[in-house]
Structure 1
């Protein structure tokens, strides 16, 4: 089943398309989306079609920062009930914890991890492309741009992250990236993330409204995934987080989730999945992205996918794609020239 995302992810698309010289109606139709999705923010639409739309918009307009232009006017209210709930929490930490909990309601192909370290916090975002491999660069930039704008609405419009990192390479002109994120933006990083001060998490929200929290919570309780659906989302997210460590087994995932492996197996089987097939699907999509969309070495790709040796990765890649990773990358580079 294709991963879905709220149509609200396309907020400001028509305006940016018009400013970039595009016909938004034509672009949406070409991507397989009805133009009506722009007026139905709660509608769930296929992630891969959104990625296709954004990529085509960049190619036809020449605006490499298309998604960032969409993100800079984004508001918490565009997240629907989830946005209402996180907007009125007492601290940024509370807001981020709830965003992690309810992220599946916004984007079924996105994982968010908040890692608190000594005096810094790393907010890591990882997006899958959907059913078929589609370029993710614009969706990643949209996601990080929306996150930065959300944090500014929560703790102050003059807030700046310490660092913003992207897996993909730099654009020809990074001016919009610096305008959005500040002076420290890095590309070709190991993962997509926002780095901020740990003290930011405890910044008090002077506009927090407990009455609105109760109202938004009731709305979410009526639509939030429960039971097996929630576990499936948790398993996907945990696989994504553990895979680079080389310790991504059903035992480790179960331990991370606080359940026994038999429970994970049973709930995946009820959804027509197995742990090995789910992990392989995720690994295959990440492999395609790292090989086609980044310049990182194949040895590094093997490590990020949890392989203990490059030779193991090479054999696996050949079995999945019918050719070597080196040949795939060379073909992609030739197609781009």
Structure 2
């Protein structure tokens, strides 16, 4: 099943494309999208087409921060009913948990998780590329930029995270990153996400409206029941979550989802999928991304993909791609990806 995303993800695309010297209508058509999607924010469109559009726009304009530029004007209203539900939660923690619960209604290729340790919170982001060697940089920065914007709308414009972590390498010009994030940024990190203080999540929301929460949540629960792809989204997100721990088995994924392994197997089979093939596909996608888009050490990449030893990763990579990870990176650095 093709992952879909709300057309609202392209909010402000026309303005950023025009300011970057592009013809937005032509760019949309070339990416396989009808320009009319910009006027239909609730329309679900293919994630792959959006990915092509953002990357082509960044390449054609020479603006590596294209996606981040689009994030600068986002509001909770761009999330539709999910934004409405987030706005009226009692605390920021509650708002983020609602975003995580209903993320499949916004973007079928995105996984957000909330991890707490001591006085630190990590809002971790994982993006499915939709294919090997499909760049994700623009989508990753767009989502993180939008998330920071939404948190500031909920907590106040003075809110600052401790740092932003990005798996890819730094651009030559950090002007837009500094403007949007306004905090330290770690490139070539081992995950994409936002690191902040636990106390930030507990601040009360003085404008919370329980009546509006009930109304918005009913709309969203009805939508979830109509979502046939939810099991695939849930399994993908859980694989992303458990993969770095080295404990990504069907038993652990099933335990995380609160069902028995047989149920997961049956539901995946209904979509012509198996757990092992999905796990391997996600590993391949992430391995290609880490090798091509970052300068992280190959030993760190092996850990992130759940391999117990670098040698296991090396053998697996060679079997999957017909070339070693070291040679893949060398070809990237010389501009030859064939």
TM-score for the superposition, normalised by structure 2: 0.95
User: RMSD of the TM alignment (CA)?
Assistant: 1.7
Alpha carbons 2:160, 2:183 under 8 Å: kept: no
Q: Do 2:133 and 2:292's aligned partners in 1 also have CA atoms closer than 8 Å?
A: no
2:170 matches 1:165: no
What's the counterpart of residue 112 of structure 1?
112
In terms of mean alpha carbon deviation, does 41-50 or 227-236 score higher? 227-236
User: What TM-score, normalized by structure 1, do the two folds share?
Assistant: 0.95
State the match for 2:233 in structure 1.
233
1:238-257 matches, cutoff 5 A: 238-257=238-257
Counterpart check, 1:204 vs 2:194: no
Say if 1:219 and 1:118 are closer, same or farther in 2 by CA, change over 3 A: same
C-alpha deviation, 1:298, in angstroms = 1.8
1:89 corresponds in structure 2 to 89
Shift of 1:132: 5.0
Give the deviation of 1:271 after TM superposition.
Answer: 1.8
Query: Does residue 1:314 correspond to 2:281, yes or no?
Result: no
Alpha-carbon distance in 2 for matches of 1:138, 1:231: 26
Equivalent residues, number = 337
Q: Is the 8 A contact 1:135 1:289 kept in 2?
A: yes
In structure 1, runs of 5+ residues without a counterpart are: none
SS in 2 for 1:125: strand
Residue in structure 2 matched with residue 5 of structure 1 by the alignment: 5
Deviation, structure 1 residue 177: 0.9
Aligned to 1:179: 179
Q: Is the 8 A contact 2:111 2:126 kept in 1?
A: yes
Deviation at 1:196, TM superposition (A): 1.1
1:137 and 2:137 are equivalent in the alignment: yes
Q: Which moved more, 1:293-302 or 1:277-286?
A: 293-302
Q: Which moved more, 1:127-136 or 1:23-32?
A: 127-136
Shift of 1:227: 8.7
Once the two structures are superposed, residues 255-310 of structure 1 have per-residue CA deviations (whole angstroms, 9 ceiling, x without a partner) of: 22222222221221222111101111111111110111111122221111111122
Q: CA deviation at 1:214?
A: 2.0
Q: 1:225: Cα distance to partner?
A: 4.3
Return the alpha-carbon distance in structure 1 between the equivalents of residues 230 and 47 of structure 2.
19
- Give yes or no for contact 1:166–1:193 (8 Å, CA) kept in 2: yes
- Provide the C-alpha distance between the structure 1 equivalents of 2:83 and 2:298, rounded to a whole number of angstroms: 39
What is the CA–CA distance in structure 2 between the aligned matches of 1:228 and 1:248, rounded to whole Å? 24
SS of the equivalent of 2:307 reads: coil
Q: Is the 8 A contact 1:166 1:191 kept in 2?
A: yes
Q: Which moved more, 1:69-78 or 1:259-268?
A: 259-268
Gap change, CA 1:107 and 1:185, over 3 Å in 2: same
Mapping for residues 1-337 of structure 1, pairs under 5 Å:
1-131=1-131, 133-225=133-225, 229-335=229-335
Structure 2 portions without partners, runs of 5+: none
**What is the Cα deviation at residue 120 of structure 1?**
1.4
CA deviation after TM superposition for structure 1 residue 63, in Å: 1.6
* Contact 1:3/1:131 (<8 A) preserved: no
CA contact 1:164–1:186 (8 Å) conserved in 2: yes
Q: Is the 8 A contact 2:165 2:186 kept in 1?
A: yes
Shift in Å, 1:331: 2.3
- Describe the shift of the 1:229–1:66 C-alpha distance in structure 2 as closer, same or farther (beyond 3 A): closer
Distance 1:275 1:226, change over 3 A: farther
CA positional deviation for 1:56: 1.4
